[in-house]
């Protein structure tokens, strides 16, 4: 037995030696190296060699190999290298400032597979370091990718919180979140740059398959003094002037109507007088029924939809739950948010046409100059106030890990592109270069209003030509929507797994263009004409009224939920359903609005009358414009100051303190800016001008 064993060992040894000799002399591809036996051996060896480079190894060894001490040892400046070495030496001696710098830097946590991948570290602790070395806080973006079998794909999905929105580290993040990128807080010496940190992290993390980007704007030091610009001086002067007028108007208000223009001007800025009017909920004799309810319901729906997008910026210990919730079928109600903006376009078209028809009935023409000035006073004062505040005042108010991204970056974009907003053309330049991206609707509304003026004159004087042109524009707008979606592979529905770039493309090529959104606006104009001309005056029985409402609700539900499959996890983009939804959903939703509006105006609301005429809607209608403008700055303010991950719950969509803040700020903006400037228009340009001249 011993002899046989020795013989076998000798045979194995000689075979291995011969194999090594043969492989040294043979080319890479030969009969032997391609043999079944040797191929199997080579594949096994290759598998063992590449195991350490696989995604599976990265997951298991992530905590072991992730750098515990992050400092740019090879910084580009001598001072950075000296401070980095001083930090390492001081840390070894357990000096307090060095321990704080180490402690303030994020570490790999538990719960990464639950979505707890965004780690801010300790922002305030880092900025408090002011000893031998000052602390600089940087928020790095990490791109992690796991490839391989299904198990790796599942891990990749969990690490990226379900890929609710797909992004990369180079995407803009100040409006649409870099959802798929992990945010990692690092505290380094202030003498080191973002480039130094990026190089250090890349060197340490590349072996784990992690890409790194550290934007210069994502680094913060304590007591950073921003340059004092002319725009900031102008903004401070503007707001001080407003405060002075409000103070004088409120203090000198004696509850009497002013006799001179100056007295009327001061009364216009009286907070006491404006607050009384904003809480006066009596109906105007010319008020159109249903407008308040439509505006209130759709504004609430948009508020929730906008909040859900802002929440995607925040870190959560269970961010996978966030993705799961918005991947449920019922979440289609939020993903179809474009329909709620369509509601406002319908209301705008209806109200604008209704007011212009009143002018045409009285005068037979439209005073273009007066109408444009009135529209300017309606939209611009509060709009410019918000832009100036967010550009020059808000950045100095607070700070936080994402403050530079969601507040400072908006300020930089506004400083460069604000002039486009002044001209109401900002919606033609895409979200990337737009000051306060949520204001695109104001640009569209102004442009559609200007186009409405000659169109209404044509309809009034040359009916056949006017109506033909209106139908042609509506059809052309529908075709443009369909083609834009089909050609650019975009979607007006926020489908599951959509990329940041596709969201931006959807905005640029369709969502923010009046040419593509005009259809439902024109439907509102048509409805105003039909109701004004009493062409829809007929009566319904109770049964017919109920059938009408059932049909209306059925069509509304169908329009909202028809693309629900696109919102489910695992959806793969398809051109046709996306193009059909974009082309025809505004038409279907316009029919819903028309039917509901007609029924309410003709007292067929039935048991819903109390809801439609609720006082809360009458109040909200007065602050609706302010709510629309102020909600995103407030949302992003809270995102910017967020210091740590919290537990996600759907109830955060209506976080009471935040909603209350939106309401209070909107009330103050309305009584301090919107209402006073509307009165200024009436004093100097409106109907009261004649009376003042007569005096």
User: d(Cα 333, Cα 337) in Å, to the nearest integer?
Assistant: 7
Average pLDDT over residues 230-253: 94
Q: What local confidence, expressed as pLDDT, does residue 68 receive?
A: 83
| DSSP-based three-state secondary structure for 263 | helix
Query: Do both 150 and 290 map to the same domain?
Result: no
At 665, list the tokens: 């700020």
Strands 210-213 and 219-221: unpaired
**Band (285; pLDDT cuts 50, 70, 90):** low
User: d(Cα 149, Cα 54) in Å, to the nearest integer?
Assistant: 11
Q: What local confidence, expressed as pLDDT, does residue 12 receive?
A: 45
Average pLDDT over residues 455-477: 95
User: d(Cα 654, Cα 434) in Å, to the nearest integer?
Assistant: 27
Average pLDDT over residues 57-69: 72
What is the number of structural domains in the chain?
A: 2
Average pLDDT over residues 567-586: 93
Would you say residue 255 lies in a domain? Answer: no
Would you say residue 242 lies in a domain? Answer: no
| DSSP-based three-state secondary structure for 182 | strand
**Higher-scoring residue by pLDDT: 210, 525:** 525
Closest CA to 430 of 357, 527, 487, 503: 503
202 within 8 A of 212, measured Cβ to Cβ: yes
Answer yes or no: is pLDDT of 692 > 90.
no
Distance between terminal CA atoms of the chain?
A: 130
User: Residue holding tokens 């009384």?
Assistant: 276
Distances (CA, A) of 426 to 265, 421, 627: 31, 5, 20
Would you say residue 386 lies in a domain? Answer: yes
Answer yes or no: is pLDDT of 3 > 50.
no
Answer yes or no: is pLDDT of 260 > 70.
yes
DSSP letter string, 582-640: HHHHHHHHHHHHHHHHHHHHTT--GGGHHHHT-HHHHHHHHHHHHHHHHHHHHHHHHHH
Enclosing domain of residue 300: 281-654
Would you say residue 561 lies in a domain? Answer: yes
Q: What local confidence, expressed as pLDDT, does residue 687 receive?
A: 59
Query: Do both 504 and 633 map to the same domain?
Result: yes
Query: Do both 312 and 433 map to the same domain?
Result: yes
Mean pLDDT is highest, among 108-112, 251-255, 483-487, for 483-487
Answer yes or no: is pLDDT of 254 > 70.
yes
Would you say residue 611 lies in a domain? Answer: yes
Closest CA to 379 of 140, 76, 40, 629: 629
Would you say residue 97 lies in a domain? Answer: yes
Average pLDDT over residues 645-667: 94
Would you say residue 266 lies in a domain? Answer: no
Query: Do both 215 and 289 map to the same domain?
Result: no
Q: What local confidence, expressed as pLDDT, does residue 41 receive?
A: 30
**Higher-scoring residue by pLDDT: 39, 252:** 252
Query: Do both 313 and 179 map to the same domain?
Result: no
**Band (57; pLDDT cuts 50, 70, 90):** very low
Q: What percent of the chain has a predicted confidence (pLDDT) above 70?
A: 89
User: Residue holding tokens 């700070």?
Assistant: 399
C-alpha dihedral sign at 9, 13, 14, 18: positive
Closest CA to 188 of 268, 129, 259: 129
Query: Do both 288 and 159 map to the same domain?
Result: no
Task: Find the helix packing angle between 291-311 and 615-641, rounded to 10°.
Answer: 10
Find residue 136's DSSP bridge partners.
188, 221
Find residue 395's DSSP bridge partners.
none
User: d(Cα 583, Cα 517) in Å, to the nearest integer?
Assistant: 10
Closest CA to 157 of 658, 496, 525: 496
User: d(Cα 77, Cα 99) in Å, to the nearest integer?
Assistant: 23
User: Residue holding tokens 């999905």?
Assistant: 157
For the CA atoms of the chain, what is the radius of gyration?
32
Q: What local confidence, expressed as pLDDT, does residue 146 receive?
A: 78
Give burial (CB, 10 Å; 0-12/13-18/19+) of 216. Answer: exposed
Query: Do both 285 and 215 map to the same domain?
Result: no
Task: Find the helix packing angle between 271-278 and 230-251, rounded to 10°.
Answer: 80
Answer yes or no: is pLDDT of 342 > 90.
yes
Q: Please, what's the b/e burial string for 344-383 (b: 16 or more CB within 10 A of its CB; e: otherwise)?
A: bbbbbbbebbbbbbebbeeeeebeeeebeebbbbbbbbbb
Answer yes or no: is pLDDT of 144 > 90.
no
SS3 string, 65-85, reads HCCCCCCCCCCCCHHHHHHHH
| DSSP-based three-state secondary structure for 467 | helix
Q: What local confidence, expressed as pLDDT, does residue 185 receive?
A: 96
At 77, list the tokens: 């400046």
Q: Where are the alpha helices (DSSP H) in 269-423?
A: 271-278, 291-311, 319-325, 332-335, 338-363, 368-388, 403, 409-422
User: d(Cα 405, Cα 398) in Å, to the nearest integer?
Assistant: 13
Q: What local confidence, expressed as pLDDT, does residue 234 receive?
A: 94
Distances (CA, A) of 301 to 336, 337, 339, 628: 10, 8, 10, 12
User: Residue holding tokens 């591809």?
Assistant: 29
Answer yes or no: is pLDDT of 453 > 50.
yes
Average pLDDT over residues 380-397: 96
At 238, list the tokens: 């503007």
Average pLDDT over residues 342-359: 95
| DSSP-based three-state secondary structure for 489 | coil
Would you say residue 670 lies in a domain? Answer: no
User: d(Cα 609, Cα 613) in Å, to the nearest integer?
Assistant: 6
Query: Do both 173 and 296 map to the same domain?
Result: no
Query: Do both 216 and 347 map to the same domain?
Result: no
Q: CA angle 658-426-229, nearest 5°?
A: 75
Query: Do both 641 and 493 map to the same domain?
Result: yes
Closest CA to 90 of 113, 64, 69, 106: 69
Query: Do both 440 and 588 map to the same domain?
Result: yes
**Band (685; pLDDT cuts 50, 70, 90):** confident
Indicate the average pLDDT of the chain.
87
- Which of 101-105, 117-121, 151-155, 536-540 is least confident? 151-155
295 within 8 A of 347, measured Cβ to Cβ: yes
Under DSSP, the state recorded for 642 is: -
| DSSP-based three-state secondary structure for 232 | helix
Q: What percent of the chain has a predicted confidence (pLDDT) above 90?
A: 70
């Amino acid at each position: 037995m011993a002899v046989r064993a020795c013989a076998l060992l000798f045979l194995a040894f000689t075979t291995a030696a011969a194999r090594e000799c043969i492989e040294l002399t043979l080319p890479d591809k030969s009969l032997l190296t391609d043999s079944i036996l040797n191929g199997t051996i080579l594949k096994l060896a290759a598998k063992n060699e590449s195991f350490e480079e696989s995604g599976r190894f990265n997951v298991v060894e992530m905590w072991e190999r992730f750098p515990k001490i992050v400092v740019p040892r090879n910084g580009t400046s001598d001072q950075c290298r000296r401070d980095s070495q001083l930090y390492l030496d001081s840390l070894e001696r357990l000096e307090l400032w060095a321990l704080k710098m180490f402690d303030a830097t994020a570490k790999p946590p538990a719960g990464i597979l639950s979505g707890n991948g965004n780690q801010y570290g300790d922002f305030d602790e880092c900025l408090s370091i002011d000893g031998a070395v000052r602390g600089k806080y940087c928020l790095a973006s990490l791109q992690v990718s796991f490839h391989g079998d299904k198990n790796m794909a599942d891990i990749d999905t969990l690490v990226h919180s379900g890929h609710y929105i797909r992004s990369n580290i180079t995407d803009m993040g100040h409006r649409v979140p870099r959802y798929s990128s992990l945010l990692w807080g690092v505290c380094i010496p202030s003498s080191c740059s973002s480039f130094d940190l990026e190089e250090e992290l890349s060197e340490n993390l590349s072996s784990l398959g992690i890409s790194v980007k550290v934007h210069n704007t994502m680094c913060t030091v304590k007591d950073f003094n921003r340059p004092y610009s002319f725009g900031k001086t102008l903004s401070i002067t503007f707001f001080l002037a407003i405060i002075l007028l409000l103070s004088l108007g409120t203090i000198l208000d004696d509850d009497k109507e002013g006799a001179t223009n100056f007295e009327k001007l001061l009364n216009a800025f009286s907070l006491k007088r404006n607050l009384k009017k904003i809480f006066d909920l009596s109906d105007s004799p010319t008020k159109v029924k249903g407008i308040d309810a439509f505006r209130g319901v759709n504004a609430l729906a948009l508020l929730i939809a906008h909040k859900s997008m802002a929440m995607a910026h925040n870190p959560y210990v269970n961010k996978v739950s966030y993705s799961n919730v918005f991947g449920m079928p019922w979440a289609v109600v939020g993903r179809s948010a474009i329909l709620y903006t369509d509601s406002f376009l319908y209301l705008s078209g209806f109200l604008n046409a209704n007011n212009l028809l009143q002018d045409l009935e009285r005068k037979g023409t439209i005073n273009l100059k007066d109408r444009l000035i009135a529209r300017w006073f309606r939209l611009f004062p509060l709009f410019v106030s918000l832009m100036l505040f967010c550009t020059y005042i808000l950045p100095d108010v607070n700070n936080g890990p994402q403050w530079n991204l969601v507040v400072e970056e908006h300020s930089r974009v506004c400083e460069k592109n604000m002039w486009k907003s002044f001209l109401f053309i900002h919606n033609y330049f895409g979200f990337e270069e737009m000051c306060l991206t949520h204001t695109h609707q104001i640009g569209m509304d102004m442009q559609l209003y200007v186009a409405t003026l000659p169109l209404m004159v044509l309809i009034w004087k040359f009916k056949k030509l006017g109506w033909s042109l209106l139908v042609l524009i509506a059809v052309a707008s529908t075709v443009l929507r369909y083609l834009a979606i089909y050609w650019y592979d975009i979607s007006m529905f926020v489908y599951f797994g959509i990329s940041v770039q596709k969201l931006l493309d959807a905005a640029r090529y369709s969502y923010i263009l009046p040419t593509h959104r005009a259809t439902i606006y024109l439907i509102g104009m048509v409805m105003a004409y039909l109701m004004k001309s009493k062409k829809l005056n007929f009566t319904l029985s109770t049964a017919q009224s109920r059938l009408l409402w059932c049909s209306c609700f059925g069509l509304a539900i169908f329009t909202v939920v028809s693309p629900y499959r696109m919102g489910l996890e695992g959806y793969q983009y398809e051109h046709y359903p996306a193009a059909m939804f974009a082309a025809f959903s505004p038409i279907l939703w316009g029919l819903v609005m028309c039917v509901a509006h007609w029924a309410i105006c003709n007292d067929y609301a039935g048991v819903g009358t109390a809801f439609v005429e609720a006082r809360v809607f009458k109040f909200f209608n007065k602050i609706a414009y302010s709510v629309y403008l102020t909600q995103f700055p407030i949302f992003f303010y809270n995102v910017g100051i967020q210091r740590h991950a919290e537990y996600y719950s759907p109830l955060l969509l209506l976080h009471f303190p935040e909603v209350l803040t939106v309401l209070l700020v909107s009330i103050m903006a309305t009584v301090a800016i919107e209402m006073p400037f509307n009165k200024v228009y009436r004093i100097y340009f409106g109907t009261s001008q004649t009376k003042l001249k007569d005096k």
